């Protein structure tokens, strides 16, 4: 009858979202209630913000002092009925952290360089987030790591340039002026601050540049083979005529003799008539 599959996510260091499934032997009218407590609270608190679907509750969770060490959270799920077995779990909040999606993604282009910038988090301590920037040029996708507040190395690729920067932006130099570039960003907790491996959702796509007109390339693809084929035919005809001029065909002696005897026979027949 106890709730099973308890899973919690600490969203943006602001609120905890916990979900669970009813016990296999629990009745359909079982009304589970979530309580939580951590070191620093005088009394346990009850979660009152239940979602419309059963087995999920959201409660605000923040700590007075922003620090890299957080107390463990004890979570109790039970029903008022004694027939329902309670379940208790202890959660390390640093393993449950999930940042919010980066907002205000802006792109700008100066000459042949694209600048990408996004908003910083207001709830995370400084130097505790890293970012992934997804750059798409046409049908090609590449994920590049942008580590927040670190300047260490440069990576080159056929499409994008990766820089470790000290601010919440990066730049892509030497871009194709006839290509359209699309970017997305997501945030990840840094392991030196949190033990969580949860990433935020990808930001909305933002694009810059114009994709080259595919009609021009289509015309080239059709025209070039046609020109090559016509040129080949003309060249073959020209070479054949040139060969005839340089190496004329040798007459067949049999044809010559045949024509000679044929003419003699005609002359003899004419003489007999006369």
Q: What CA–CA distances, in Å, run from 59 to 13, 18, 40, 41?
A: 12, 9, 16, 14
Helix, strand, or coil (residue 22): coil
- Amino acid 27: pLDDT: 82
**Residues 17-73: tens digit of each pLDDT:** 999 988 888 887 788 889 999 988 888 899 888 875 668 899 998 876 555 578 899
CA angle 45, 46, 48 (to 5 degrees): 135
| pLDDT attached to residue 153 | 37
- For residue 258, CA distances in Å to 175, 254, 261, 271 come to 79, 6, 5, 20
Classify each residue of 87-110 as buried b or exposed e, where b means 16 or more C-beta atoms within 10 Å of its C-beta.
beeebebbebbbbbbbeebebeee
Q: CATH topology for 103-208?
A: Immunoglobulin-like (2.60.40)
Do the Cβ atoms of 61 and 93 come closer than 8 Å?
yes
The length of the chain in residues reads 274
For residue 138, the model assigns a pLDDT of 66
What's residue 174's pLDDT? 76
* 73 Rama class: left (phi>0) / alpha (psi -120 to 50) / beta: beta
> What is the per-residue pLDDT for 163?
47
Taking only the tens of pLDDT, the chain with its 274 residues reads 888 899 999 999 999 999 998 888 888 778 888 999 998 888 889 988 887 566 889 999 887 655 557 889 999 998 877 788 888 999 999 999 999 999 999 998 888 888 889 988 888 888 888 888 888 876 555 555 554 433 333 333 444 444 445 567 788 887 777 788 888 888 999 888 899 999 999 999 888 877 654 555 566 677 787 888 878 888 777 777 766 666 666 666 666 666 666 655 555 555 555 5
Distance CA 168, CA 119 (A): 7
Residue 143's pLDDT is 56
What count of other Cβ atoms lies within 10 Å of the Cβ of residue 168? 19
**Residue 161 pLDDT:** 46
User: How far apart are alpha carbons 121 and 190 in whole angstroms?
Assistant: 13
Which residues are bridge partners to 171 per DSSP?
115
- CATH T-level fold of 4-97: Immunoglobulin-like (2.60.40)
Quick one: pLDDT at residue 26? Answer: 82
pTM of the model: 0.67
């Amino acid at each position: 009858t106890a709730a099973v599959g308890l899973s919690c996510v600490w969203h943006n260091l602001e609120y905890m979202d916990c979900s669970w499934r009813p016990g296999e032997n629990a009745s359909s009218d079982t009304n589970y209630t979530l309580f939580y407590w951590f070191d620093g609270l005088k009394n346990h608190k009850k979660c009152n913000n239940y979602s419309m679907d059963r087995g999920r509750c959201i409660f605000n969770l923040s700590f007075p002092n922003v620090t890299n060490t957080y107390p463990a959270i004890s979570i109790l799920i039970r029903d008022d009925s004694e027939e329902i077995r309670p379940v208790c779990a202890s959660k390390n909040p640093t393993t449950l952290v999930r940042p919010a999606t980066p907002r205000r993604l802006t792109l700008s282009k100066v000459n042949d360089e694209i600048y990408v910038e996004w908003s910083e988090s207001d709830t995370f301590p400084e130097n505790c987030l890293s970012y992934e920037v997804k750059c798409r040029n046409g049908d090609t996708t590449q994920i590049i790591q942008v580590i927040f507040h670190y300047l260490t190395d440069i990576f080159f690729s056929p499409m994008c340039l990766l820089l470790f920067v000290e601010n919440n932006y990066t730049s892509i130099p030497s871009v194709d002026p006839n290509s359209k570039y699309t970017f997305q960003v997501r945030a990840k907790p840094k392991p030196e601050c949190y033990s969580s491996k949860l990433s935020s959702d990808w930001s909305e796509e933002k694009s810059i540049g114009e994709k080259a007109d595919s009609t021009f390339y289509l015309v080239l693809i059709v025209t070039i083979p046609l020109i090559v084929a016509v040129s080949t035919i003309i060249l073959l005809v020209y070479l054949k005529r040139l060969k005839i001029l340089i190496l004329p065909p040798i007459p067949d002696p049999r044809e010559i003799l045949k024509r000679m005897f044929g003419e003699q026979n005609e002359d003899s027949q004419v003489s007999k008539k006369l």
